[in-house]
Each structure stands twice: as structure tokens, then as C-alpha cells.
């Protein structure tokens, strides 16, 4: 087993990996940029090495600097977390060349999944179901029109080097190809340094469901069930859950077996995620494979009872998987909320700043993976994810009610967050019924309720006063309205009062 692991990341995921190291008796080494001198992962680690200026290119994306810190610390392995260098095949190879174990797949497996056209070719040969369309880049509008005629409109143009929806275009009819193809190609060139664009049939109102896999270095591969990831905005996931409320045991087994075949075909090792689109008839299609530990891994941990980071480390150290597919069982339900430092009143634009007061929830069925603390200043330089709040219960309704309760306990003062969005999603009838697809959140945010929820907080505070008077004057009338609306107004008034207190404290 490793003695010392360097975590080439920051924020909540660095803290998550440090926790696993502690539990396993491994020394945890943090790295940090100027902006992160006082960040939680630096405080929590056993050792910390300064990388350089705040810009990611000078710190968390700088391979020579990270390898230098690893050598100086004497780390025998590197955990990349997610984002930054986690899916960089060059980094995985550089680690291998330096004799430091990269906790993740090999550079070759990463490269195979890095090009979507290459992945599609390989997966098609292995009999994996994929979205109909082209296997190579389009070289002309005429060729694009031919492919589109074959598969039928609407179609999607996608960047081969892309992922996460960047550079994607929906094409309804042939006329649009003339300008859309060259535009997509130059956009892909600018964004990924690779202008290859290919075509797929568009799946309308799909669900985004992903399957967690785990593979050791001795040929054993298992799937750990799916995560429903349809609640997202601008290709940014906001809420994930396991299991998906719409996946039957039969569909899970079929998707899981395909995911294992994808991993085996790619020669995949360690933890990975196979992404699928699922259409309205429950057909599923391979989309891409994420060759890293994902943000949303905790929901899988809660329903499987497994610790994915422990297992990643054990696999990287050469151990065989300590269980077989038949030993994996799912129990209960878990839902994750991604708490971002962003301003709901300003189109969810990042909103960094100092956290002046932090009241954090806990209690039954609540897990919180956080990178923030009271007094810390959220830097503007990185992704604004602050924390993940995960509710767990024996069934979905219990997971929801625990989350609703925990969200009421959560208070982050001094900065804007998206916390209120989760209260809204969790109380939405469509969410509660599990009626989700990738358009769900945009529809919710456009629905009339949003105008009311964005009402000026001063108006809410005045209304709270009115309701408080009504409350004491005629309790019967208030009771008729039910406990929810009343407590909402009261809560608004209390939150407002807390805000006043804060302003005087600063
Ligand atoms: C699609 C699609 C419909 N048809 N491909 C967006 C992210 C990237 N990983 C793939 N994406 C999509 N690919 C075909 N052929 C719709 C999406 C899509 C989507 C996928 C997952 C999660 C959210 C999404 C939101 C809009 C579109």
C-alpha cells in the first residue's frame, strides 16, 4: 500500500480524498495556489506544497510543478480528483514515467475515450448500442447532408474532442447545415484545438443516466448502479440521484452489463463512468466515458455502502477487487445538491466573496462534502462549487424530506448561493414524481413560480410582519393555509433578521 499520496486538486474533492487517506493510514499531501493559501484542503492535509500563482495554468494544471511537488514530498501516488488534470492522458503518462502511480486509468484508456469518434468506432465493433450517426469527422456540407438524410432529422453536430455539450448544435433541416457545420468546426478548433465535427441523430427529451464502473488491474470489472443526472443547466449538473427513479431492475442490469463491456473494450482500470442517453421508450445509447472519479460519486457510495476513493486507492496499489458483481446490492435512495457560490438573481453568475457566517446541516441521513469554512474567502479563480449536500433515506420520499430539512438548517452568509433553488426543485410535483429529462430545470426556471421566488427580500420581510400579525390575531385562518406557507414567511423574516445581525457584525 502507498505511504504518501499527493492530491493534485483543491476544494471539496481534495478534502474528500484526504479523508480517505487518513482512514487508510496514508499521509496526505496537498498542493495549493496563491488563492488557496488558507483553503480547507491545505488546513486538513498532513503536508502542503505551494505551486504558484492563482491561475490554473500556473498551478493545478501545471504538470511540471505538480510532479516537482510530488518528488519533493516523496509521494508514491497522485490522486487527480475531478477536473484539472484528471482526464489528461499526458499527465497520467508523465506520472508513470516518473515512477509515481496515477490513481486512475492508464493514459492509453484515457486517450481512447478522449476522441468521441474513436470511442464510437471501437464501441460499435464491440456491439455496444450507440446513437446512430457518423463514425468520423465530416469534411463537407454535402457529406453532412448525406449522413443526415440517412439517419433523419433532427441531427446533432458534435465536436469529436468535445464533451459536456460544448460545441454541440441541434440541426432541424438541411438548410441549417450550410452555416452550422463550418461554425461548429471553427468553434471546436478554438475550444479544443481540434476542429473535427461529426454527426449523430438527435434524441429528443433524453434522460442523462450514467453507470458507475470499477475495474481492477487483474481483469475484474463490476458496475455499481446508475445515477440519474438529468437535472442540469447549460450542461452543468445541479442535482443527481441514485438509483434513477425511472430505471427498472431489468434496465439497470442491461445498462450495467453494457457499461462493463465498454470498460473491458477500452482496457479500462480504476473507477470510471459510462454515460448514456435514454430516450422516452427506454432505449439507451452509449454517449461517452468519463475516466475519473465524478463529483456525484457520493450518491453511489450511499446506496452501495462502498467507499469509492478507498477502492480507487486499493486498485491503484494493485489489489484485486474485494467483491464480485453478485455481492453488489443497492439499498435506499440518495440525492445530491451541488451548492455553488452563484447569484440566482444574476442568471446564476459566479458570486465569490468572504463567508461571514456558516451554519452547516447534519443529522440523520445527511452527508456533506464541503470545501468551505466560516471566515474563508471563495476565490474567483476556479469552479464555484462550494459543497455537496447529500440526503439519504430508505426510500426516495425519505431522502427528499431529509434534504428539505437539512436545507433549512443550511445558512451561508456573506455570499450568494443557489441553496434556494433546491428547496424549489424538491417541492416541485414533477420532481417528486420523478418526471425528469434534460430539459426539466430550464422548464422549472421559466415557469411562473420563479418570478415570485425572486421577489425582493424586503417585500418578503414586510409580508412576514403582516403574516405574523394575522397569525396571532386569527390562528384559525392561518391554520387553514397549512404549515408550509406560514413557516416560509416566518423563515424569510428570520433569515432577514440574521442578515441584519451579520451586517452589524461586519
Ligand atoms: C445528445 C443529445 C441528444 N441527441 N446527443 C450534451 C452533453 C453531452 N455529453 C451530450 N449531450 C447531449 N447529446 C444526441 N445524439 C442531447 C444532449 C444533451 C444533454 C445530455 C446530457 C445532459 C444534459 C443535456 C442537455 C442538453 C442536451
pLDDT tens digits for 74-96?
Answer: 999 999 999 999 999 999 999 99
Average pLDDT over residues 354-366: 98
What is the rounded distance in angstroms from the CA atom of residue 136 to the CA atom of residue 147?
11
What is the rounded distance in angstroms from the CA atom of residue 200 to the CA atom of residue 156?
5
- Summarize pLDDT for 248-270 with one digit per residue, the tens: 999 999 999 999 999 999 999 99
What's the confidence (pLDDT) of residue 115?
A: 87
Considering the chain, tell me which residue range(s) the CATH 3.30.1490.20 domain(s) occupy: 133-201
Ranges 98-102, 185-189, 391-395: which has the least confidence: 185-189
| Cβ of residue 498 lying under 6 Å from some atom of ligand 1 | no
CA-closest residue to ligand 1 atom 21: 208
Q: Which of 438, 439, 442 to mutate to test the pocket of ligand 1 (most atoms within 8 A of CB)?
A: 438
**pLDDT higher than 60, residue 371:** yes
| Cβ of residue 436 lying under 6 Å from some atom of ligand 1 | no
CA-closest residue to ligand 1 atom 5: 202
- In this structure, the strands spanning 197-201 and 155-159 are antiparallel
- Summarize pLDDT for 408-419 with one digit per residue, the tens: 999 999 999 999
| Cβ of residue 157 lying under 6 Å from some atom of ligand 1 | no
From the CA of 81, how far away is ligand 1's center (Å)? Answer: 24
What is the rounded distance in angstroms from the CA atom of residue 461 to the CA atom of residue 456?
9
CATH 3.30.70.20 fits 205-331, yes or no: no
From the CA of 251, how far away is ligand 1's center (Å)? Answer: 20
> 375 is written with which cell numbers?
471566515
CA dist list (Å): 143 to 147, 152, 160:
6, 14, 16
Q: Omega into 243 within 30° of 0, i.e. cis?
A: yes
Q: Which residues pair with residue 33 across a beta bridge? A: 52
Confidence band for 184, pLDDT divided at 50, 70 and 90: very high
- Counting residues of the chain whose pLDDT is more than 70, the rounded percentage is 91
| Cβ of residue 470 lying under 6 Å from some atom of ligand 1 | no
Q: Omega into 389 within 30° of 0, i.e. cis?
A: no
What is the rounded distance in angstroms from the CA atom of residue 133 to the CA atom of residue 130?
9
Q: For the chain, what is the mean pLDDT?
A: 92
What's the confidence (pLDDT) of residue 114?
A: 86
Q: Which atom of ligand 1 is nearest to the CA of 203?
A: 4
What is the rounded distance in angstroms from the CA atom of residue 474 to the CA atom of residue 483?
14
What's the confidence (pLDDT) of residue 505?
A: 39
CA-closest residue to ligand 1 atom 15: 202
Active-site residue, from 16, 169, 292, 314: 292
- Counting residues of the chain whose pLDDT is more than 90, the rounded percentage is 84
| Cβ of residue 206 lying under 6 Å from some atom of ligand 1 | yes
Helix axes 174-192 and 141-151, enclosed angle (nearest 10): 120
Cα pseudo-dihedral 253, 224, 421, 395, rounded to 10: 70
What's the confidence (pLDDT) of residue 454?
A: 52
| Cβ of residue 202 lying under 6 Å from some atom of ligand 1 | yes
CB crowding 283-316: b at 16 or more within 10 Å, else e: ebbbbbbbbbbbbbbbbbbbbbebbbbbbbbbbb
Ranges 158-167, 210-219, 437-446: which has the least confidence: 158-167
Average pLDDT over residues 224-243: 96
DSSP code, position 242? E
What is the rounded distance in angstroms from the CA atom of residue 9 to the CA atom of residue 33?
10
Confidence band for 478, pLDDT divided at 50, 70 and 90: very low
What's the confidence (pLDDT) of residue 482?
A: 43
CA-closest residue to ligand 1 atom 26: 438
> 330 is written with which cell numbers?
443497492
Between residues 246 and 454, which one has the greater pLDDT? 246
What is the rounded distance in angstroms from the CA atom of residue 209 to the CA atom of residue 438?
10
From the CA of 165, how far away is ligand 1's center (Å)? Answer: 6
What is the rounded distance in angstroms from the CA atom of residue 155 to the CA atom of residue 161?
18
**pLDDT higher than 60, residue 455:** no
Strand order in the sheet with 155-159: 169-171, 155-159, 197-201
CB atoms within 10 A of CB 178: 12
- Summarize pLDDT for 412-450 with one digit per residue, the tens: 999 999 999 999 999 999 999 999 999 999 999 998 765
CATH 3.40.50.1950 fits 4-103, yes or no: no
> 324 is written with which cell numbers?
464480485
What's the confidence (pLDDT) of residue 163?
A: 73
| Cβ of residue 437 lying under 6 Å from some atom of ligand 1 | no
What's the confidence (pLDDT) of residue 298?
A: 99
**pLDDT higher than 70, residue 340:** yes
| Cβ of residue 155 lying under 6 Å from some atom of ligand 1 | no
Chain centre distance of CA 282: 23
Between residues 463 and 391, which one has the greater pLDDT? 391
From the CA of 488, how far away is ligand 1's center (Å)? Answer: 36
SS3 content of the chain, % helix, strand, coil (to 5): 45, 25, 35
CB atoms within 10 A of CB 235: 12
From the CA of 299, how far away is ligand 1's center (Å)? Answer: 22
From the CA of 278, how far away is ligand 1's center (Å)? Answer: 10
Please say if 408 is a catalytic residue: no
CB atoms within 10 A of CB 275: 21
> Which of 90, 62, 95 is CA-nearest to residue 79?
95
**pLDDT higher than 80, residue 377:** yes
**pLDDT higher than 60, residue 402:** yes
Considering the chain, tell me which residue range(s) the CATH 3.30.470.20 domain(s) occupy: 205-331, 335-446
**pLDDT higher than 80, residue 464:** no
Q: Which of 277, 283, 440, 442 to mutate to test the pocket of ligand 1 (most atoms within 8 A of CB)?
A: 277
| Cβ of residue 208 lying under 6 Å from some atom of ligand 1 | yes
**pLDDT higher than 90, residue 502:** no
From the CA of 398, how far away is ligand 1's center (Å)? Answer: 30
Considering the chain, tell me which residue range(s) the CATH 3.40.50.20 domain(s) occupy: 4-103
Q: What are phi and psi of 377, to 5 degrees?
A: -100, 120
- In this structure, the strands spanning 270-278 and 155-159 are unpaired
Q: What is the CATH number of domain 335-446?
A: 3.30.470.20
CB atoms within 10 A of CB 72: 12
> 227 is written with which cell numbers?
445515477
What is the rounded distance in angstroms from the CA atom of residue 285 to the CA atom of residue 48?
43
What's the confidence (pLDDT) of residue 476?
A: 42
First-to-last C-alpha distance (Å) of the chain = 48
Confidence band for 471, pLDDT divided at 50, 70 and 90: low
133-201 CATH choice from 3.30.1490.20, 1.10.10.10, 3.20.20.70, 3.40.1180.10: 3.30.1490.20
What's the confidence (pLDDT) of residue 492?
A: 64
Amino acid at each position: 500500500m502507498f505511504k504518501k499520496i499527493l492530491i493534485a486538486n483543491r476544494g471539496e474533492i481534495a478534502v474528500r480524498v484526504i479523508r480517505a487517506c487518513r482512514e487508510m493510514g496514508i499521509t496526505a499531501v496537498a498542493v495549493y495556489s496563491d488563492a488557496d493559501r488558507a483553503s480547507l484542503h491545505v488546513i486538513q492535509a498532513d503536508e502542503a506544497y505551494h505551486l504558484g500563482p492563482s491561475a490554473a495554468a500556473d498551478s493545478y494544471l501545471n504538470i511540471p510543478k505538480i510532479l516537482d511537488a510530488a518528488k519533493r514530498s516523496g509521494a508514491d501516488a497522485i490522486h487527480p480528483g475531478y477536473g484539472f488534470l484528471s482526464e489528461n492522458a499526458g499527465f497520467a503518462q508523465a506520472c508513470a514515467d516518473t515512477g509515481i502511480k496515477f490513481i486512475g486509468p492508464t493514459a492509453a484508456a484515457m486517450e481512447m475515450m478522449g476522441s468521441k469518434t474513436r470511442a464510437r468506432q471501437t464501441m460499435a465493433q464491440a456491439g455496444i448500442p450507440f446513437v446512430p450517426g457518423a463514425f468520423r469527422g465530416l469534411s463537407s456540407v454535402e457529406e453532412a447532408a448525406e449522413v443526415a438524410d440517412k439517419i433523419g432529422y433532427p441531427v446533432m453536430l458534435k465536436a469529436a474532442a468535445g464533451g459536456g455539450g460544448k460545441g454541440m448544435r441541434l440541426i432541424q433541416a438541411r438548410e441549417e447545415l450550410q452555416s452550422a457545420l463550418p461554425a461548429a468546426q471553427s468553434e471546436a478548433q478554438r475550444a479544443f484545438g481540434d476542429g473535427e465535427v461529426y454527426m449523430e441523430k438527435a434524441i429528443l427529451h433524453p434522460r442523462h443516466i450514467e453507470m458507475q464502473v470499477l475495474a481492477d488491474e487483474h481483469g475484474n470489472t463490476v458496475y455499481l448502479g446508475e445515477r440519474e443526472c438529468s437535472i442540469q443547466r447549460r450542461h452543468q449538473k445541479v442535482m443527481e440521484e441514485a438509483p434513477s427513479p425511472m430505471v427498472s431492475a431489468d434496465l439497470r442490469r442491461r445498462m450495467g452489463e453494457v457499461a462493463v463491456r465498454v470498460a473491458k473494450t477500452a482496457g479500462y482500470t480504476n473507477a470510471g463512468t459510462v454515460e448514456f442517453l435514454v430516450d422516452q421508450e427506454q432505449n439507451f445509447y452509449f454517449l461517452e466515458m468519463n475516466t475519473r472519479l465524478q463529483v456525484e460519486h457520493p450518491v453511489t457510495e450511499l446506496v452501495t455502502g462502498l467507499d469509492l476513493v478507498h477502492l480507487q486507492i486499493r486498485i491503484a496499489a494493485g489489489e484485486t477487487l474485494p467483491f464480485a458483481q453478485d455481492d453488489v446490492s443497492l439499498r435506499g435512495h440518495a440525492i445530491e445538491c451541488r451548492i455553488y457560490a452563484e447569484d440566482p438573481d444574476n442568471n446564476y453568475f459566479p458570486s465569490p466573496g468572504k463567508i461571514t457566517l456558516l451554519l452547516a446541516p447534519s443529522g440523520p441521513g445527511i452527508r456533506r462534502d464541503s470545501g468551505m469554512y466560516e471566515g474563508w474567502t471563495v476565490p474567483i479563480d476556479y469552479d464555484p462549487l462550494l459543497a455537496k449536500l447529500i440526503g439519504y433515506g430508505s426510500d426516495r420520499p425519505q431522502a427528499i424530506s431529509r434534504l428539505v430539512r437539512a436545507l433549512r438548517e443550511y445558512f451561508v452568509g456573506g455570499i450568494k448561493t443557489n441553496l434556494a433553488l433546491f428547496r424549489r426543485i424538491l417541492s416541485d410535483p414533477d420532481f417528486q414524481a420523478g418526471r425528469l429529462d434534460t430539459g426539466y430545470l430550464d422548464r422549472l426556471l421559466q415557469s411562473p413560480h420563479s418570478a415570485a421566488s425572486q421577489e425582493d427580500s424586503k417585500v418578503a420581510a414586510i409580508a412576514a410582519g403582516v403574516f405574523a400579525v394575522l397569525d396571532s390575531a386569527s390562528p384559525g385562518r392561518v391554520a387553514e393555509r397549512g404549515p408550509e406557507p406560514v413557516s416560509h414567511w416566518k423563515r424569510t423574516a428570520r433569515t432577514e433578521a440574521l442578515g441584519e445581525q451579520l451586517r452589524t457584525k461586519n
